[in-house]
Amino acid sequence: MSVTTLSYAETGAFSTLLTDYLARHEALTPFYHRFPTLEAFAEQLQEKQAHYTPEARQRLVAALRQQYAALPAVHPAVQANIELLEKDTTFTITTGHQLNLFTGPLYFIYKIVTAVKLARQLKEQYPQYDFVPVYWMATEDHDFAEINHFTLFGKKYEWNAAEPGGPVGRMPLAGLKEELLDQLPADIPAVFRAAYEESGTLAEATRRLTHELFGELGLVSLDADAAELKQALVPVLEKEIKEQASNQAVQAANAQLEAAGYRPQVYSRPLNLFFLTDAGKRERLEYDAAQDCVQITVRNTGRCHSQQELLDLARQHPEQFSPNVVLRPLYQELLLPNLCYVGGGAEVAYWFQLKGVFKENNVPLPMLLLRNSAQYISKANAGKLRKLGLTSRDVFRPLSELKKQVGSTLGQEEVSLQKQQQQLAEAFRQVSELAQRLDPTLVKTVAAEQQKAAGIVAGLEKRLSKAAEAKHETAYSQLTALKDKLMPNGHLQEREDNVLSILINNPGFINQLMEAFDPLALEFTVLEEE
């Protein structure tokens, strides 16, 4: 396996905000706490240790023990990490993601490998501490349409269950086997099928699958949709209901971002909370402007509460409340002894809007690390690139540029009638001057004839170019097919392909990622089979 790296900017696939962050532009300094370097973790460790309480640690470990009791067997590395979390010298490196079927796009895998690898690097740098990689399961998310499908070898597999409208983690898996699992290729690894066939809910299946894939690496998966964990949310719920401080903080950050030339990733609401109804739905909490007194309604229901009623409910039953995108990160940092969040570009961008939210609640903001991104090139595709005279770096260039390069390599004559167009324009300029002297009414006629002649030459240029390309049509067809395979639908491979497209033929892929990724190098990785 050959491993090369390039800057994120070279791929052309990442936002200006993100590339500016990686370059440590001063304009973004106010929006994060500490830039992720090995040395900077020393202060982050001390700060988190001072804020994270023994009660929070006990609550976390008890919940994890209960959640992992549902697995048939727990890998020793995972069990050891859960036990380590009891110690006040143990901290976490966290990434989070939705419960995509069969892990969804490749970047799900890349997120977790980044977190695992960083935890190992930190252990080498700070041997007196322990570091546990954590996958935060987005079990409370209710957008089923975003997770009910995945793409494998160009084919979309989709689970057409009824929209739950509530936390997807609670969804039963009835009908999944007949509708989706039985349609999969026969060579799918057994652990993928078993995770869904032998689980009762989507959350259970996702935990089981990530445990099968990453258990030996010590990954701990946390489902925060649990009554005992929601107790930690009570102070946040009280502050949100009484003061709406999070909305004010985000609005202020948004104004600063826009003034610096960046567009906010997410937008805040007056109340950044959902309510989990008795019917199993997750509905937004909203102020009812039609009421004379302060009333808060549960959207799409007949429920309406005064502020005091909602405060009482939050204190007695916090498990009925669910944070939205603005407060979810805060909930995460209340539950975990976390030092760093590993996220994709969009996630890093919206964390930049939350520094004030964390300050309002006196919770340390974690470091924000862009997950590793990668391009995987199989041995067969690497051979095709070399045959076309291209390298792995060329994958990210536009197809039109690649065609020109391949054409040049194959000796194709470049067709351009630009010189002839210039000569034609000069000839008509002279004719126009003559018409102006002899009969000015003919100037428009000359201009029309010039436009017609220029069009004829342009058409000839296209026909001649096609004739030149026809000599190497096979090579161009191969190039187009290869480009689409490596950059499906014009996107990075990691955003479209599923890990199974690699694992089926390369079972050691995750271990190869562990070797190749360097989280703090902040570079795009290309893995090429030899």
Q: Say how far apart CA 386 and CA 346 lie, in whole Å.
A: 34
**Amino acid, res. 413:** E
Q: Say how far apart CA 493 and CA 146 lie, in whole Å.
A: 18
Q: What is the pLDDT of residue 303?
A: 86
Lowest mean pLDDT among 110-114, 159-163, 282-286, 346-350: 159-163
Q: What is the pLDDT of residue 215?
A: 97
Q: What is the pLDDT of residue 467?
A: 75
The CA-atom distances, in angstroms, between 57 and each of 62, 82, 376, 400 are 9, 11, 39, 56
Residues 6+ apart with CB under 8 A from 10: 393, 396, 524
For the stretch 445-470, pLDDT in tens is 999 999 999 999 999 888 877 776 66
Q: What is the pLDDT of residue 289?
A: 62
Q: Say how far apart CA 251 and CA 273 lie, in whole Å.
A: 16
335 falls in which pLDDT band (50, 70, 90)? very high
Q: Which pair of structure tokens corresponds to residue 99?
A: 């419960």
The arithmetic mean of pLDDT across residues 366-376, rounded, is: 98
For the stretch 469-502, pLDDT in tens is 665 677 888 899 999 999 999 999 999 999 999 9
**Amino acid, res. 406:** V
> What count of residues does the chain have?
530
The CA-atom distances, in angstroms, between 76 and each of 8, 81, 95, 188, 216 are 37, 9, 21, 26, 8
156 falls in which pLDDT band (50, 70, 90)? very high
The arithmetic mean of pLDDT across residues 126-150, rounded, is: 95
User: pLDDT: is 303 or 365 the higher one?
Assistant: 365
* Model pTM score: 0.88
Q: What is the pLDDT of residue 19?
A: 96
Q: Is 174 exposed, middle or buried (0-12, 13-18, 19+ CB in 10 A)?
A: exposed
Residue from 215, 154, 144 nearest 500 by CA: 154
In this predicted structure, the answer to whether residue 409 has a pLDDT above a threshold of 80 is no
Q: What percent of the chain has pLDDT over 70?
A: 97
In this predicted structure, the answer to whether residue 517 has a pLDDT above a threshold of 90 is yes
Q: What is the pLDDT of residue 495?
A: 95
In this predicted structure, the answer to whether residue 178 has a pLDDT above a threshold of 60 is yes
User: pLDDT: is 177 or 258 the higher one?
Assistant: 258
In this predicted structure, the answer to whether residue 120 has a pLDDT above a threshold of 60 is yes
Q: What is the pLDDT of residue 162?
A: 80
In this predicted structure, the answer to whether residue 105 has a pLDDT above a threshold of 60 is yes
In this predicted structure, the answer to whether residue 406 has a pLDDT above a threshold of 60 is yes
Q: Which pair of structure tokens corresponds to residue 243?
A: 């003061």
| Edge-to-edge strands, sheet with 338-343 | 220-223, 130-137, 90-97, 338-343, 367-370
Residues 6+ apart with CB under 8 A from 195: 205, 206, 208, 209, 212
In this predicted structure, the answer to whether residue 389 has a pLDDT above a threshold of 70 is yes
| Edge-to-edge strands, sheet with 2-6 | 2-6, 524-528, 374-377
Q: What percent of the chain has pLDDT over 90?
A: 82
Residue 455: count of CB within 10 angstroms of its CB: 10
Residues 6+ apart with CB under 8 A from 17: 28, 262, 263, 349, 352
Q: Which pair of structure tokens corresponds to residue 337?
A: 């002894």
Q: What is the pLDDT of residue 177?
A: 87
Q: What is the pLDDT of residue 471?
A: 58
The arithmetic mean of pLDDT across residues 27-32, rounded, is: 97
Most confident of 219-233, 263-277, 471-485: 219-233
Q: What is the pLDDT of residue 475?
A: 83
* CB 220 within 8 Å of CB 241: no
For the stretch 318-329, pLDDT in tens is 999 999 999 999
Q: What is the pLDDT of residue 470?
A: 67
Q: What is the pLDDT of residue 28?
A: 97
Question: Chain-wide mean pLDDT for the chain?
Answer: 93
